[in-house]
Amino acid sequence: MDNFHPEVVAFCCRHCAYAAADLAGGKRQPYPSAIKIVELPCTGRIDVVNILHAFEDGADGVLIAGCLDGSCHYIKGNLYARQRLDYVRGLLCEIGLEPGRARMINISAAMGVQFAELASEHVETVRALGPSPLRRKINQGEAT
């Protein structure tokens, strides 16, 4: 497990988390290289199938990072994202993956430090869960 380098796809809203990640970078506030950021116009853009495809393509974890409650640029996008994430967690259980691999956080554009902290926290959760069984399969497939 020592040489396990988790891959976490972070779907980030451009009005908050994406800017916060930028701010963290600008402040030289480190966050794990495991975080692979996908910029979204709003977390409400995320669909159930996008999250599943991230796991199918081998992600060990998924992070959805949206605006603070009540601050969504499009009013309710972050609330829809949370509901969809809850639905996806049910699907992950059915599939045989730990629901804890997917998490949502809510931050503002000014919260660079918190973004780094919460992202690190999720990477550690995923690290504790170990590599996704699907990633192992994809790697085996590549090796053969």
**Interface ranges with other proteins (CB under 8 A):** 47-49, 52-53, 55-56, 91, 94-97, 133-134, 137
- Token look-up 């994202």 returns 81
Shortest approach of other proteins to residue 115 CB, angstroms? Answer: 28
Shortest approach of other proteins to residue 138 CB, angstroms? Answer: 9
User: How far apart, in whole angstroms, are the C-alpha atoms of residue 17 and residue 39?
Assistant: 9
Which of 106/132 has CB closer to other proteins? 132
Shortest approach of other proteins to residue 3 CB, angstroms? Answer: 22
91 membership: H or E segment, kind and range: helix 77-95
Which of 38/95 has CB closer to other proteins? 95
Which of 55/115 has CB closer to other proteins? 55
Edge to edge, what strands does the sheet with 35-40 contain? Answer: 35-40, 8-13, 61-66, 102-106
Which of 22/98 has CB closer to other proteins? 98
Shortest approach of other proteins to residue 116 CB, angstroms? Answer: 30
Which of 3/140 has CB closer to other proteins? 140
DSSP letters, 61-80, are EEEEEEPPTT--TTSSHHHH
- Contact (Cβ atoms closer than 8 angstroms) between residue 106 and residue 69: yes
Shortest approach of other proteins to residue 46 CB, angstroms? Answer: 12
Q: Among residues 106, 105, 110, which one has the least CA distance to residue 20?
A: 110
